[in-house]
Amino acid sequence: MERPMTLMRAFLAIAIAVTFATTPLRAGQDATTVYLTLDQAPKSLFPGAQIERKDVPSTPQFKEMLKAKLGRVTPTVWEESYPTFTATQDNKTVGYAVVVDEIGKVNPFTLIVAATPEFKVRDVAVMVYREPRGGEITQKRFLAQYKGKKSSDPILLDRDIVGISGATLSVIGANRAVHKALSVLELVYR
Amino acid sequence: MRYEANTLDKPKPSGFDFRRFVLTADATPNDRLQAYVEIEFERLAEIEVERGVDRSDEGVAFAEDLEGGNGGEISMEQMWGQFKFGDPFSVRLGQILVPLGRFNINHDDDKWDIPRRSLVDRNVPVLPVRSAWTELGVGVTGSKSVGKSGQLSYQGYVVNGAILDFAIEKVVEAEEGQSILKLASEVGLTRGPVNGEEGVRAGTWRVGYSPTLTTDFGFSGYIGRYTPDFLEVDERLTSLGIDGLWKRGAFALEGEYIHTHLGDTDRVVNAFIDTVTGSTGIPPLAGAQGTEAEFAITDLTPSRRGFWLEGRYRFWRERWKDTFLGKGFDDPHLSAVVRYERVKLHNAIQEVAIENGEIERGDAETLRQERTTFALAYRPIQTVVFSVATEFNRRLEGPVLVFPRGFPERRYATILAGLAFGF
C-alpha cells in the first residue's frame, strides 16, 4: 500500500498548493455565469463613449423582416424585444450594439454584438452563459474572429469561423447570434 | 448503428450492428458546481433474468435463467462531479475518462466521420483498455489563457487503475456422446474496480497547448500497477501519448500516437501459473466427469505502440441546397476523410491456458498491421452523421492479423456504413 499512499499524498499536496495559489473564491453567483450586465456590456465595448439605449420591440412585422433578412439562418430564440445601443463620441456615431440570445446545446446564452457605423462587427462579448459545456466560446481568442464580419459573410463553422473541439454546438449558436445581431442593427439603424 | 461486410475468408455475417446508445445527463446547479453522467447501452436490446423455485413430490428445483443478446453491455461511461475553485482550477471526482491521447476524451460517435473507431483506441487496442476507458478517481482540471491567442489546459487524476481481472465463461458442449459443462476463468486487462478493493494504484494526466484556434496538441500519460494482489507480483503499466489537431479553412488534420509498456509480462505469466498450480508447478487435473475447467490469461504484450492520422476536408456546393441533401437545413455539408493507422504488438502472447493437467503456452509473436480508411460523411446538422467507408487492412509482420485477431489473411477490405446522432 506504500505506492497508493504516495500517489494520494502527491495529489493532495498539488491540489492544496494550486488551490491557494490560484484565483480567490467568488461569492454570490447563481446557476449561470454572468460576465457582463446590461449596464456594463455596451460600456465595455465602447469605452469612453456616450451610450444611448433604445429597446426595439419584435413586432410581427419586424420579425418577418428579420426572417427575410436572415435567409438560410434560422434563429433558435425569437426575443420579445432587442436592447440596442448607439455609441457617440464628440457628437459622432462610433457604432451600434445589440443584445441577442441563442441556444448552444440546450440553454440560451446572451451575447452583445457591437458594430461599426458601416455595420461590420467591431466586438463581441458573451454576457451570460448557461450551459455546463461549451463555455470555451467565451474565450477572447474565439470571439476575435468575428471582428470585421458583415451580415453578407457566411459566418459559418469551418468556412470563415474556426471551431473549438468540444464546443461545436455553442460555436454554431454564436454564429447564428452574430448573424441575427447584425441583421437587427441593419434593420433598426441603416 | 453500423453495417459491415468484409473480404475475410470466414467473415462474421454481414448485418446491422447496434453499436451503442448513450444516455447523458448534466447539471450545473451553481456556476461552480457541475455534474455529468453518461450511461452506455452497447449492442444491448434486452436483458431478462428469471429466477424460480419449483417444489414437487420428488424434491425441489432452484432455477435461474438469463436472456439477452450476444455482446450486450451496460456501462457507466462517466459519472463525475466537479467543484470549481477559480477559472484555471477545478477538482473533479467520480468515474472520469482517462485523458490518454485525444480520442478517449472525445470519443462520442457523432463527433467522428468514420463509422469505426481506430485500431489504437478500440480494436487492438494500444490504449491499455479499449476506449471509452474510464476509471474511478479524483483529480484536477482547468485551462488558462497564454498570451493573446494561446490556451493551456491540463488535467491530472489519481485513479483505481486498470487491472488484470477475471471473467468466468460457461459453455455446455456435446462431445463424443456426452455433454460437458466447461468453465473457463479468463484473466485479462480491464478498467479498474469501482469497489475500492484493490486500492488507488495509478495516476494519469494530460497537458494540452493550443497556440491558436487552429492548432492544438497534447502530451499525456498513465502509470500504475496492473497486477492484482492475488497474483503476488508487482508490475507496472506505463503509457505515453502525443496528439494534435491542425486546421486550415475546411481542411483538418488530426492524429494520435500511443506507446504502452506492460513491464515484465513473463513474470506475470509465471505468477499466474504459480497461482493456479498452488506453487506446486503441477496443473490441476480435469474436474468431475462431464465437466472441464480452464484457467487462462490473455493478451499480454510487453509493449504495444501505434498511431492514427486523419485528414478531413469539409465541402458543400450552393447548388445542392434545394436537393434532398440540403433542403430545410441551415448548414449541411459533406466531408471526405482519409485515416491511416498502424499498430505493433511486440512479443504478444495471445493466451496461456491451464487445462486438464496441461499448461499450454502460445509462442510470443510480434504482430504489425496497417489500415487505410476512405470515408464520405454527410451531416445535415452538426450532430447527425451518415457515413460510408472502405477499409484496407494489411498484415505487415507476424503470422496473423492483429484485428480481427488470429486471421491469417495478408490483406482484407471492409465496407462500412454508419449512422450516428446526438440529440
pLDDT at B357 over 90: no
Q: How far is Cα B352 from Cα B361, in angstroms, rounded to an integer?
A: 5
State which H helix or E strand residue B257 sits in: strand B251-261
C-alpha B351/C-alpha B32 separation (Å) is: 48
Pairwise CA distance, residues B101 & B107, whole Å: 11
**Closest residue in B to A30 (Cα–Cα):** B30
The one-letter code for the residue type at A127 is M
Q: DSSP states of A23-75 as a string? A: PPP--S--SSEES--TTHHHHHHSTT-EEEEEEEE--HHHHHHHHHHHTT---
Reported as a pLDDT band with limits 50, 70 and 90, residue B366 is very high
Q: Between A132, A139, A168, which is nearest B26 by CB?
A: A132
Q: Mind listing the pLDDT tens digit for each residue in B24-82?
A: 888 888 878 889 999 988 887 788 888 888 888 877 888 888 887 777 888 888 999 99
Cβ within 8 Å, pair A133-B26: yes
Contact A33 B330 (CB under 8 A): no
Which chain A positions have a beta carbon within 8 Å of B138's beta carbon? 11
**By the CB < 8 Å criterion, does B47 face chain A?**
no
Give the per-residue pLDDT at B232: 83
pLDDT at A9 (0 to 100): 61
A67 min Cα distance to partner chain B (Å):
13
Considering only residues 321 to 350 of chain B, which have any Cβ-Cβ distance to chain A shorter than 8 Å? Answer: 321, 330-331, 333
Q: Do B158 and A8 touch (CB under 8 A)?
A: yes
- Residue B369's pLDDT is 97
- The crossing angle, in degrees rounded to 10, of helices A60-70 and A168-189 is 120
A31:B139 CB<8 A? no
Say what the pLDDT of residue B286 is.
67
Query: Which of the residues in chain A have pLDDT under 50?
Result: 1-2, 18-31
pLDDT at A16: 52
Of all residues in chain B, the percent with pLDDT exceeding 90 is: 52
CB B251 within 8 A of CB B312: yes
SS3 state at A9 = helix
Chain A interface, best mutation among B28, B217, B226, B383, by max A CB count within 10 A: B28
Measure the CA–CA gap between B369 and B123, rounded to whole angstroms: 12
Q: Using an 8 Å Cβ cutoff, are A100 and A126 in contact?
A: no
Q: Where are the domains of chain A?
A: 31-189
**How many angstroms away from the CA of B218 is the closest CA of chain A?**
13
Give the whole-angstrom CA distance, residue A111 versus residue A82: 12
Condensed to tens digits (0 to 9), the pLDDT of residues B399-417 reads 999 999 889 999 999 999 9
Give CA–CA dist B37/B78, Å, rounded: 5
Q: What pLDDT shows up at residue B284?
A: 73
Pairing of strands B365-379, B150-159: unpaired
- Domain spans, chain B: 2-50+62-421
> Is B181 in contact with B292 (CB distance < 8 Å)?
yes
- State the pLDDT at residue A173: 94
Tell me which of B71 and B353 has the higher pLDDT.
B353
The three-state DSSP-derived secondary structure of B262-329 is: CCCHHHHHHHHHHHHCCCCCCCCCCCCCCEEEEEEEEEECCEEEEEEEEEEEEECCHHHCCCCCCCCC
Given phi > 0 = left and psi -120 to 50 = alpha, else beta, which region is A95?
left
Q: What is the pLDDT of residue A47?
A: 93
Terminal-residue alpha carbon distance, chain B: 15
Rounded to the nearest 5°, which phi and psi values hold at B235? -125, 145
Residue A165 sits at the chain B interface (C-beta within 8 Å): yes
Chain B within 8 Å of A27 (Cβ-Cβ)?
no
In contact, A33 and A107? CB cutoff 8 Å: no
Q: Does domain B2-50+62-421 have CATH number 2.40.160.10?
A: yes
Distance CA B52, CA B63 (A): 5
pTM assigned to the model? 0.86
Confidence category of residue B93, pLDDT binned at 50, 70, 90: very high
**Residues of chain B contacting A165 with CB distance shorter than 8 Å:** 106, 216, 245
B382–A24: do the CB atoms touch at under 8 Å?
no
Tens digit of pLDDT for each residue in B165-214? 888 877 887 767 777 787 888 888 999 988 888 888 999 999 999 999 99
Q: Do A15 and B140 touch (CB under 8 A)?
A: yes
Q: Which three cell numbers stand for residue B131?
A: 476506449
SS3 label, residue B192: coil
* A106: closest chain B residue by CA: B423
B34 chain-A contacts, CB cut-off 8 A:
132
By Cβ distance, the residue of B31, B87, B158 closest to A29 is B31
B280: its cell numbers:
506446486
User: CA B144, CA B87: separation in Å to the nearest integer?
Assistant: 7
Residue B29 is nearest to which of A3, A7, A31, comparing CB atoms? Answer: A31
Separation of CA B259 from chain center: 15
pLDDT score of B304: 96
pLDDT in tens, B136-169: 999 999 999 998 889 999 999 999 999 998 888 7
Rounded to the nearest angstrom, the minimum Cα separation between A130 and chain B is: 8
Q: Cα B8 from chain centroid?
A: 23
> Nearest residue of B to residue A144 by CA position?
B149
Which grid coordinates belong to B72? Answer: 450486450
The cell for A170 is 455553442
Contact A7 B200 (CB under 8 A): yes
Q: Is B95 helix (H, G, I), strand (E, B) or coil?
A: strand
Whether B88 shows a pLDDT value over 90: the answer reads no
pLDDT digits (tens, 9 = 90+) for B259-302: 999 999 989 988 888 888 877 777 777 667 777 778 888 888 99
How do A81-89 and B15-17 pair as beta strands? unpaired
Q: Parallel, antiparallel, or unpaired: how do β-strands B89-97 and B73-86 relate?
A: antiparallel
